[in-house]
Amino acid sequence: MVRSLGGDMIFVAGGGFYGAIAVSKLKNRDTVVVVDVNEECYAKTYVECIAKNLDEALNDRCRSTLVIGDAVKVFLDLVSKGFVPYVVVPAIPRHFAGEVTYSYLKLRGCIIKPYSGTLDEVVEILKNFGVEAKADTANGVVVASYMPFNLRCKQSCDEPQVCPITGKIKAIPLHELMGLVLIEVADETVVFESKFIAEGVGGFSGYELAEALKNLASLCRGSLVAVATACACHGLANFFAVG
């Protein structure tokens, strides 16, 4: 297992509306590092310190810090220094785990690009289980949800087996279903389970993300890689052709 010097650290990727909510609810519980390219982001209101780069943040040793920079790059830099956050809260418009995987493999010299060859198959399988799903073939992305895309979830929903909006029963949590589906079409599959860590705030294991990167490090050959993040109800997956 990847061992961490940042065992009490929560990494919040993005300091916008949702990132700020995460920081406000977590800053008194653990060490929080939130990263955003915008120094004037919403999260600025809730942090103890603002750092221009990661080294400055690590030297300051504040309980809550806004680091100005790209969240993907800062996360990879953090891990390379031996600091592995125990929780990652993704709060950027893109799929954070997918972006981290893409950047990591590219830094290792892999030829990597979005893959779209099997996305229609993935969408159809998910739909057969009562899941709404759609593909962005240009970027190799599948979005999935037990909630119809034209409806909104109940505020502070705790993901019960019976959806309080649609009344439908989830036969299997989506993070489990996506794991079963993706493994059928990809050579390497990683699904990160997002869990509630505070009211309205979801996150997944930073240890698992760091371990996955370590395991994928040897994949600079002809492989189809699927990386997903999902809770019981909603999920997002990136597909990469690695050569």
Q: What is the mean pLDDT of residues 225-235?
A: 98
55-95 pLDDT tens trace: 999 998 899 999 999 999 999 999 999 999 999 999 999 99
Structure-token pair, residue 167: 């009344």
Report if pTM > 0.75. yes
Which band of pLDDT confidence, cut at 50, 70 and 90, is reported for residue 24?
very high
- The domain segmentation of the chain, as residue ranges, is 9-93, 112-194+216-242
Q: Using the predicted structure, report yes or no on whether residue 6 has a pLDDT greater than 70.
A: no
> From the CB of residue 82, how many other CB atoms can be counted at a distance below 10 Å?
11
- Looking at domain 9-93, its CATH class is alpha beta
Which band of pLDDT confidence, cut at 50, 70 and 90, is reported for residue 130?
very high
Predicted pLDDT of residue 7:
62
Predicted pLDDT of residue 3:
40
